[in-house]
């Protein structure tokens, strides 16, 4: 009898368990981040006794381990005590003050309808939810630069900072940003009451990337399936791209999958080089999971044009979308896509009709097409 088709494709001779290479996997150990881990833990220590943790501003380039380190520390904290609770928020996903306060309520066991409730009411709900729990929430605002405009960040931080006045409850804030200048751009009153400590994540060196990869490879691949030099070349490649560990790890995942597809016994440098070409640009990779159907539609239209004026783009969009949004909302979407660095919007003078924006893609078309189809 022929073998089941799934048995044939699921029995890998390459991967022992590829999940160890997934971006969301949190390793048992994080080499080269001991001092950052210790600093974060030290700042959170007061929370163990129900006290006020020190607020933190974590910054560094993409792929330097900021997110994974924050999640690692929260996991350790929750394993150790029930007095504090980590609340992780990715600001790509929750990008307004209302959405974030809402998410905080939910994390504290208070369900609030996601739409149609004024921000002040959500805030009142949050205060009352805090009254009922006797824990110190540690709020991680990851990718905090995504909070449309610095005003949003300032207002949100102001909300969080004055919780203690209303409620005599403590709350810890960890902000994570690629942009080291972000704090300096905040409202000065907020900045001074935030009293945050800065923790820098420096890019990894090629040697460090190699160590990180070796550790992952041990769990992800069967012994000896990687050709010599595969790890070295992957580490060197990522080192050239700002020491981005994500890129290093992802290149091995893609290379392994390519080898598997070909039924190859080994992952070779040729697989790895092909993998380098398939790695999505960072801006896309981060934003992709959080794009809505309208944003995807706009991007899809732009894939078919070199450049479009915003009015023409809106008309094309209306023709294609099932339930088009208003022009005002549409302009907001364009602003967001520009902030995400997915499109470029250049203001141009257009004769008597005044100014308009010329819009084009800011990332490779092929990669954009791929996310529009998912």
Ligand X SMILES: Nc1ncnc2c1ncn2[C@@H]1O[C@H](COP(=O)(O)OP(=O)(O)O)[C@@H](O)[C@H]1O
Instruction: State the residues that interact with ligand X by CB under 6 A.
Output: 23, 27, 30-33, 60, 62-68, 212, 245-246, 249
Report whether 91 contacts 286 (CB < 8 A).
Answer: no
Question: Sign of torsion, CA 271 213 139 338?
Answer: negative
Q: Is 67 in the site for Mg ion (CB under 5 A)?
A: yes
Smallest gap, in angstroms, from Cβ of residue 236 to ligand X? Answer: 16
Taking CB atoms within 8 Å and a gap of at least 24, the contacts of 108-114 are 108/132, 108/133, 108/137, 109/133
Smallest gap, in angstroms, from Cβ of residue 295 to ligand X? Answer: 22
* Strand bridging mode 308-309 / 355-361: antiparallel
Smallest gap, in angstroms, from Cβ of residue 238 to ligand X? Answer: 9
Q: Please give the angle made by the CA atoms of 199, 161 and 81, to the nearest 5 degrees.
A: 65
Binder of residue 62, out of Mg ion, ligand X, none (CB less than 5 to 8 A by kind) = ligand X
Closer Cβ to Mg ion, 54 or 69, answer by number: 69
Contact letters for Mg ion, residues 8-47 (x by CB under 5 A) = ----------------------------------------
Smallest gap, in angstroms, from Cβ of residue 339 to ligand X? Answer: 17
Closer Cβ to ligand X, 11 or 28, answer by number: 28
* Strand bridging mode 172-177 / 308-309: unpaired
Closer Cβ to Mg ion, 68 or 372, answer by number: 68
Report whether 48 contacts 83 (CB < 8 A).
Answer: yes
Q: Is 177 in the site for Mg ion (CB under 5 A)?
A: no
Helix axis angle for 269-278 and 230-240, nearest 10°, is 30
Ranked by CB distance to Mg ion, the top (closest) residue is 67
Binder of residue 102, out of Mg ion, ligand X, none (CB less than 5 to 8 A by kind) = none
Smallest gap, in angstroms, from Cβ of residue 240 to ligand X? Answer: 16
Sheet strands side by side (includes 343-349): 308-309, 355-361, 343-349
Binder of residue 149, out of ligand X, Mg ion, none (CB less than 5 to 8 A by kind) = none
Q: Is 64 in the site for Mg ion (CB under 5 A)?
A: no
Write the DSSP symbol of residue 325: P
Closer Cβ to Mg ion, 67 or 196, answer by number: 67
The binding site for Mg ion (CB under 5 A) comprises 67
């Amino acid at each position: 009898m022929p073998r089941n088709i799934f048995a044939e494709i699921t029995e890998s001779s390459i991967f022992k368990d590829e999940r160890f290479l997934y971006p969301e996997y949190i390793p048992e150990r994080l080499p080269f981040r001991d001092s950052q881990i210790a600093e974060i833990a030290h700042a959170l220590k007061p929370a163990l006794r129900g006290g006020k943790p020190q607020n933190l501003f974590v910054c560094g380039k993409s792929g330097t381990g900021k997110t994974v380190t924050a999640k690692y520390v929260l996991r350790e904290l929750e394993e150790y005590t029930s007095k504090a609770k980590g609340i992780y928020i990715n600001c790509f996903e929750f990008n307004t003050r209302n959405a974030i306060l809402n998410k905080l309520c939910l994390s504290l066991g208070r369900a609030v309808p996601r739409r149609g409730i004024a921000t002040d009411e959500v805030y009142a709900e949050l205060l009352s939810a805090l009254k009922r729990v006797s824990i110190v929430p540690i709020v991680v605002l990851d990718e905090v630069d995504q909070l449309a405009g610095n005003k949003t960040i300032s207002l949100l931080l102001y909300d969080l900072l004055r919780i203690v006045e209303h409620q005599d409850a403590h709350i810890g804030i960890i902000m994570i940003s690629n942009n080291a200048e972000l704090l300096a751009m905040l409202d000065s009153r907020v900045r001074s009451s935030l009293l945050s400590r800065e923790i820098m994540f420096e890019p990894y060196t090629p040697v460090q990337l190699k160590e990180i990869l070796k550790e992952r490879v041990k769990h992800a691949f069967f012994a000896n399936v990687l050709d010599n030099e595969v790890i070295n070349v992957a580490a060197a490649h990522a080192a050239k791209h700002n020491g981005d560990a994500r890129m290093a790890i992802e290149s091995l995942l893609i290379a392994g999958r390519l080898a598997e597809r070909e039924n190859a016994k080994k992952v070779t440098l040729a697989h790895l080089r092909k993998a380098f070409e398939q790695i999505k640009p960072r801006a896309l990779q981060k934003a992709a999971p959080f794009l809505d159907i309208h944003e995807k539609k706009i991007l899809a239209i732009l894939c078919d044009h070199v450049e479009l004026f915003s009015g023409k783009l809106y008309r094309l969009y209306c023709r294609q979308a099932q339930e088009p949004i208003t022009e005002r909302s549409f302009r907001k979407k364009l602003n967001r896509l520009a902030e995400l660095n997915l499109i470029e919007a250049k203001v141009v003078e257009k004769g008597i009709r005044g100014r308009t924006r010329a819009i084009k893609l800011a990332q490779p078309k092929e990669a954009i097409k791929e996310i529009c189809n998912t």
